[in-house]
Amino acid sequence: MKIAAFAIAIGPHLGGALMLAALGASAYDPPRAHARAPEVRIVTVHDAPARDAPSAPRSKKLDKPARTLTMRLEHGEQPPANRPNTWVHIPSSADMAGDLRLTFVFHGFKNCIESYTSAGIQCTVTNIRRPGYRIADQLERAGSRSIVVVPETSFDVYAAEAPELSKRGAFRAYVEELLDALGDEIGNAKLSDVKRLALVASSGGYQALEPILADSQSFVTDVILLDAGYMYPRSVVGQFLARAAGELADGNVVHRVGILYTPKGGAMETSQALEQATMKALDARGALDRAIFHHTKGDPTLDDLAMPLYVVRVDEEHDVVVRRNLGRALAAAGL
C-alpha cells in the first residue's frame, strides 16, 4: 500500500427534516473500482484524557497508545479541495485482529468530519460554526474498545446523504478498503474477522445510515440513533429493530439497537412510533422487561446504554445528546 503520510494521535440541525421515502434505483449503482491506494493524512497530536473508569480487561498487552488517522479512500465520498473523506480513531491496543469492532458515525446536516471530531469549526467560511464533539476525547474517556470511523457524507450542506456509499455494494467495498489501509494496525484483518460492526447516526445522519443499512444487513450487528430516529416502523431501521426485538425475546441476541431522542430535535414523534411498535412486539412475547423504554431528565445511565435494546427519551438539547453520550453509548455497549 502506498501511504502519503500518517501520524499517531495520542490520545440541530433538523427541526422538520423529511424522512427517506424510498431507495431509488440510482442508490444501487455499482461502486467504482478501487483504482489507487488511499492517501493517509497527518493528524495533530494531543494527549489522551484519563478514562472515567477502567475498561474491560483485554486479552492482549496494551503497548500502543490511542491514535487517530485521516484518509481519502477511493470508495468514499469525494469532498471538495481534496479533503480527507475518512477519520479513524484506534483505541489503545497491541493487535486487535482477534477482537475487532468497527463503528461508523454518520454526521448531520451542515456538518463535516472536522465539525464532529474537533472542538468546533466552520466547515467552510460561508456556513455557520458547528459546535464540535471531540469524539476521540469522548471515546478515550469512556473506554471504547471499537475502532471508530467518521466517513464524510454530504459536505457542509443542508443534507446528510451519502450518495456514493449508498450505492449497491459500495459500503462493503469502503469497509474492505479501510481494513486494507489499516492492515498494520489490525493484523491484516478482513471483514469476515470483524466481531461487531455498528452504524451510528447523529441527527440528520439517518439519511446516510438508512440506505447503507439496507444494503449491509448481512454484516451490520448494531444500530445506534442519537436523536436521529426520523423514520417509522416500516423503514429499514424499523425492520432491523423488529429483528433485534425478536432475537431478544428468543434469548439469542445477535443484533442490538439503541435509540436516544429529545423533545427538541424533531425526531420525537417517529422515535416514539418505533418505541411503541417494539414495546407491543416484546409484550406479546412476554419479553418487555428485557429491554429499556423510559424517560429521563438527564443522561441515560450506563446500565441503560448496556442493554441490547433501548429507546430512551432524554430531556437535553439536540447537540448535547451527541456531545455527552456518544462515547458512553459505545463503551457501555461493548463497542
pLDDT tens-digit map of 246-288: 999 999 999 999 999 999 889 999 999 999 999 999 999 999 9
Least confident range of 37-51, 60-74, 148-162, 213-227: 37-51
Q: Which residue has the cell 438508512?
A: 210
Q: Show contacts of 45-49: CB within 8 Å, 24+ apart.
A: 45/7, 45/8, 45/9, 45/10, 45/11, 46/9, 46/10, 46/11, 46/136, 47/10, 47/11, 48/10, 48/11, 48/92, 48/136, 48/137, 48/140, 49/11, 49/137, 49/140, 49/141
Q: With a cut of 80, say whether residue 117 has pLDDT above it.
A: yes
Bridge partners (DSSP) listed for residue 86: 71, 151
pLDDT of residue 96: 60
Architecture of domain 25-332: 3-Layer(aba) Sandwich (3.40)
Pairing status of strand 67-72 against strand 147-151: unpaired
Given this model, what pLDDT does residue 35 score? 44
How many Å apart are CA 142 and CA 325, to the nearest integer?
9
Torsional sign, CA 150, 151, 154, 160? negative
Q: For residues 215 and 135, what is the distance between their CA atoms, to the nearest angstrom?
A: 27
